[in-house]
Amino acid sequence: MQQDILINWSPQETRVAVVESGAVQEVHVERALERGLVGNIYLGKVARVLPGMQSAFIDIGLERAAFLHVADLWQRPLEGESLPAHRHSAPVKPIEKQVFEGQTLMVQVIKDPIGTKGARLSTQISVAGRMLVFLPQDEHIGVSQKIPAALRDALRARLQALASEAENEGRIGGFILRTNAEDASDAELAEDMAYLRKAWARIKQASVQQPPTSLLHQDLSLLQRVLRDLTSERTSAIRIDSSEQFHALAAFGREFMPAAAAHLQHYKGERPIFDLFSVDEEITKALGRRVDLKSGGYLIIDQTEALTTIDVNTGGFVGARNFDDTVFKTNLEAALAIARQLRLRNLGGIVIIDFIDMALPEHQQAVLAELRKQLARDRVKTQVGNFSALGLVEMTRKRVRESLAQLLSQGCDQCQGTGRVRTARTVAYDILREILREARQFNPKEFRIVATPAVVDMLLDEENVHLAGLSDFIGKPISLQAESSIGPDQYDIVLL
């Protein structure tokens, strides 16, 4: 399936859309003032050690201290030993015996700050290139798990041979072969190795010259990551609407990623580039709860801090011969749509899917197979469980950056993030109770209610009998003033 990559650039924001068969599959946004931190390397300073949590807070010069867990501390192997392939399976010394307050550490961001949580760090440093990831502290030679198992041993042997040549020259360090290096030549791999070692040398030099909390290395910009991470053999064109950035990206690509740079095109059309595939419309839809399916069914997607829930509904779909077929076909279509929405919205963490109940086990297995098939196209790691006893499917998708909703929207000040506000009648009754309380404490000439037009209309129309009764009971006149600039459940009671 061929894909187009569209890049809309402006000085304040870069937006990238990945389109397959005319449908937007992924949206990436990078703002000049909010650029992500994952991959950045800092010279951090230990601000506080928390033995009870086996973690430490590290000052890396950001607004909030970053978080380092003991599991993310690099364990230096003993003399004559090599680090195990799975570092976390080795015995780990308590964090209070490894770091201390005031200590400087070279750290790398492995997860961006999200909400009130600071960035998560690791002292296991890695530097990503086009085809390889360099591990300066290890001698491990690895291959991406996304590469077919039958090819891994041969690729690992090739990589080991290339690394050994460098080690003979006194250069150490390990490498992991990235997915897009499956067909790379030895010359390309060797070139990437040399580039990464140069980058590491610059980082080490900066670490002894710069003061604590300094940024030592910044990951590539979104524009550059398009060539490194998003381009594949399925990419037919990469179109960018900025002449200046097109030439800068082309120069970068010719030096480091010539095959990917060959797909670059400068878009000169009069229509905004995102209008080509209605990308802005898709982004607007991706910020909503409801996703309509072609069959007439629909999804309801609710994202919370803890997890994301997806509810599948048949809606008006009655096209199948019987109810079981209707449910099955709706769930099959939903499986494809869910995989796309996870990519488009960049939803991570735990995801609970409530498919429509299916009576036949073979239908359940077919829907699960379709979901796993569609998720296999995801460049982010996912894991999918089976149907639970309650008919739910639990899955996880690795979370490495903010979701599209977290990036482009914020919580509602009026509803405090609940998505709901009190009705006009509820607010009206609150006001009547508040006036009664005020009348017992104060003796004004008049009470004036300042509220939204909807609440004022409610008090003048459906609740006018109660308003008049309250006025008679307290022996004071009550006047009304509509104010459209205040929130739907806000009001004020003025004593005159």
Q: In this structure, what CATH number is given to the domain that contains residue 21?
A: 3.30.420.60
Residue 414 within any structural domain of the chain: no
Q: What is the mean pLDDT of residues 261-270?
A: 94
Average pLDDT over residues 325-352: 93
Q: Identify the pLDDT of residue 162.
A: 83
Position 232 in a domain: yes
- Residue 69 and residue 212 share a domain: yes
416 contact partners, CB below 8 Å, separation of at least 6: none
Tell me the residue type at 327: V
Instruction: Say yes or no: 200 and 235 in one domain.
Output: no
Same domain, 249 and 198: no
Residues above pLDDT 90, as percent of the chain = 53
Among 217, 250, 265, the domain boundary falls at: 217
Q: Is there a single domain that holds both residue 314 and residue 270?
A: no
Domain boundary among 194, 217, 240: 217
- Amino acid 317: pLDDT: 59
Q: Rounded CA gap, 154 and 52, in Å?
A: 45
> φ, ψ for residue 402 (rounded to 5)?
-65, 150
Separation between Cα atoms, residue 291 and residue 293, nearest integer Å: 7
Position 210 pLDDT exceeds 90: yes
Residue 66 has a pLDDT of: 95
| Residue 90 pLDDT level (bands cut at 50, 70, 90) | low
Tokens 């982010």, located at residue: 380
Do 261 and 121 fall into the same domain?
Answer: no
Q: Clarify whether residues 272 and 327 are in a common domain.
A: no
The greatest distance separating any two alpha carbons of the chain, rounded to the nearest whole angstrom, comes to 98
At residue 80, the pLDDT reads 47
What confidence score (pLDDT) does residue 86 get? 46
Minimum mean pLDDT range among 38-47, 271-280, 411-420, 466-475: 411-420
Asked whether residue 265 is assigned to any structural domain, the reply reads yes
**pLDDT tens, 426-455?**
999 999 999 998 998 889 999 999 999 999
Q: Say yes or no to pLDDT of 49 above 90.
A: yes
Let me know if residue 16 belongs to a domain. Answer: yes
Q: Which two tokens stand for residue 238?
A: 């990469």
Instruction: Read off the pLDDT of each residue in 205-218 and give the average, rounded to a whole number.
Output: 94
Element (H, E) at 158: helix 149-167
Most confident option among 128-137, 196-205, 362-371: 362-371
> pLDDT tier at 324 (50, 70, 90 boundaries)?
confident
Rounded to 5 degrees, φ, ψ at 478 are: -125, 120
What CATH number is associated with residue 453?
A: 3.40.1260.20
Is-contact 161 189, C-beta < 8 A?
no
Residue 324 lies in a domain: yes
Question: In whole angstroms, what is the distance from residue 68 CA to residue 65 CA?
Answer: 10
Domain that residue 156 falls in: 59-79+88-217
| DSSP-assigned letter for residue 117 | B
The tokens describing 484, both together, are 């459209």
Instruction: Say what the pLDDT of residue 79 is.
Output: 47
Nearest-angstrom CA–CA distance, 241 and 258: 20
Within this chain, do residues 208 and 108 fall inside the same structural domain, yes or no?
yes
Q: What percentage of residues in the chain have a pLDDT greater than 70?
A: 93
Measured in whole angstroms, how far is the alpha carbon of residue 75 from the centre of its chain? 29
Calpha distance 394→354 (Å, rounded): 9
Give residue 496's pLDDT: 87
| pLDDT tens-digit series, residues 129-166 | 878 999 998 888 888 887 878 888 888 888 888 877 76
8 A C-beta contact, residue 216 and residue 44: no
Instruction: Mark whether 327 and 389 lie in a shared domain.
Output: yes
Distance between CA atoms of 489 and 424, rounded to whole angstroms? Answer: 7
Q: Which two tokens stand for residue 148?
A: 């077919």
Residue 377's pLDDT band, with cuts at 50, 70 and 90, is confident
Taking the C-alpha atoms of 305, 306, 308 and 311 in order, what is their torsion angle to the nearest 10 degrees? -120
- Domain contains 200: yes
Residue type, 147: I
Residues 6+ apart with CB under 8 A from 433: none
Contact 299, 338 (CB under 8 A): yes
Beta-carbon contacts of residue 153 (< 8 Å; ≥ 6 apart): none
**Do residues 462 and 395 make contact, with C-beta atoms less than 8 angstroms apart?**
no
**The pLDDT value given to residue 212:** 95
Q: Please count the residues of the chain.
A: 496
Task: Assess contact for 24 and 341: CB atoms under 8 A.
Answer: no
pLDDT tops 70 at residue 305 = yes
Residue 77 has pLDDT above 60, yes or no: no
Query: Average model confidence (pLDDT) for the chain?
Result: 87
User: What confidence category does residue 389 fall into, taking pLDDT thresholds of 50, 70 and 90?
Assistant: confident
Q: What is the reported pLDDT for 91?
A: 67
Select from 356, 383, 408 the last residue of a domain. 408
**In this structure, are 231 and 195 located in the same domain?**
no
Tokens of 431: 């006001």
Helix, coil or strand: residue 493 = strand
Q: Rg of the chain over CA atoms, in angstroms?
A: 29
Does 42 fall in a domain? Answer: no
Residue 134 and residue 166 in contact, taking contact as beta carbons nearer than 8 Å: no
DSSP 51: G
Hey, which bits of 88-186 come out as E strands?
Answer: 104-111, 120-122, 127-128, 132-135, 141-143, 174-177
DSSP assignment string, 20-34: ETTEEEEEEEEETTS
- CA 82 from centroid of its chain's CA atoms: 35
3-state secondary structure 55-113: EEEEECCCCCCEEEEHHHCCCCCCCCCCCCCCHHHCCCCCHHHCCCCCCEEEEEEEECC
**Residue 265 binned pLDDT confidence (cut-offs 50, 70, 90):** very high
If one counts every other C-beta atom within 10 angstroms of the C-beta of residue 375, the result is 20
Q: Same domain, yes or no, for 225 and 372?
A: no
Same domain as 150, residue 134: yes
User: pLDDT-based confidence at 405, cuts 50/70/90?
Assistant: confident
Give the pLDDT score at 490: 87
Counting the structural domains of the chain, the total is 4
Residue 292 lies in a domain: yes
Both 265 and 306 in one domain: the answer is: no
Residue type, 261: A
Token pair, residue 399, equals: 């979370």
Q: How confident is the model at residue 193 (pLDDT cuts 50, 70, 90)?
A: confident
Q: Please state the rounded mean pLDDT for residues 27-33.
A: 87
Q: Is residue 407 within 8 Å of residue 345, measured between CB atoms?
A: no
